[in-house]
């Protein structure tokens, strides 16, 4: 018996489509949102106008001297005489 060695025949490689593998990583990122608020306090002063009308009164006592006697009557030299 003869032992003959026959090397295997090699065919060209069959290339399949590339298998895509995806890995995900997560990184937390803080984005500050600022909502400012401003309050203005307005103080109102309301003036209520009040009108005053002061009034005064007075009283005057008046006397009427009537007829004045003439103590020095040149016509009648006998002393004072009232009318």
In the DSSP assignment, the letter for residue 65 is: -
Provide the pLDDT for residue 79. Answer: 54
Residues written for the chain: 83
Provide the pLDDT for residue 75. Answer: 59
Rounded to whole angstroms, the Cα distance separating 82 from 67 reads: 9
Provide the pLDDT for residue 72. Answer: 58
List, as own/partner pairs, every contact residues 44-49 make where C-beta atoms lie below 8 angstroms and the sequence separation is at least 24, other chains included.
none
End-to-end CA distance of the chain: 204
pLDDT digits (tens, 9 = 90+) for 72-81: 555 555 555 5
Residues of the chain with confidence (pLDDT) below 50: none
Token pair for 42:
């307005």
The sign of the CA dihedral 37, 41, 42, 46 is positive
Provide the pLDDT for residue 78. Answer: 56
pTM of the model: 0.31
């Amino acid at each position: 018996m003869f032992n003959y060695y026959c090397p295997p025949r090699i065919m060209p490689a069959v290339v399949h489509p590339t298998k895509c593998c995806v890995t995900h990583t997560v990184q937390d990122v803080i984005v500050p949102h600022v909502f400012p608020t401003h309050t203005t306090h307005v103080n109102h002063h309301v003036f209520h106008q009040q009108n005053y009308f002061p009034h005064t009164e007075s009283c005057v006592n008046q006397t009427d001297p009537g007829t004045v006697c003439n103590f020095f009557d040149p016509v009648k030299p006998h002393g004072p005489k009232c009318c």
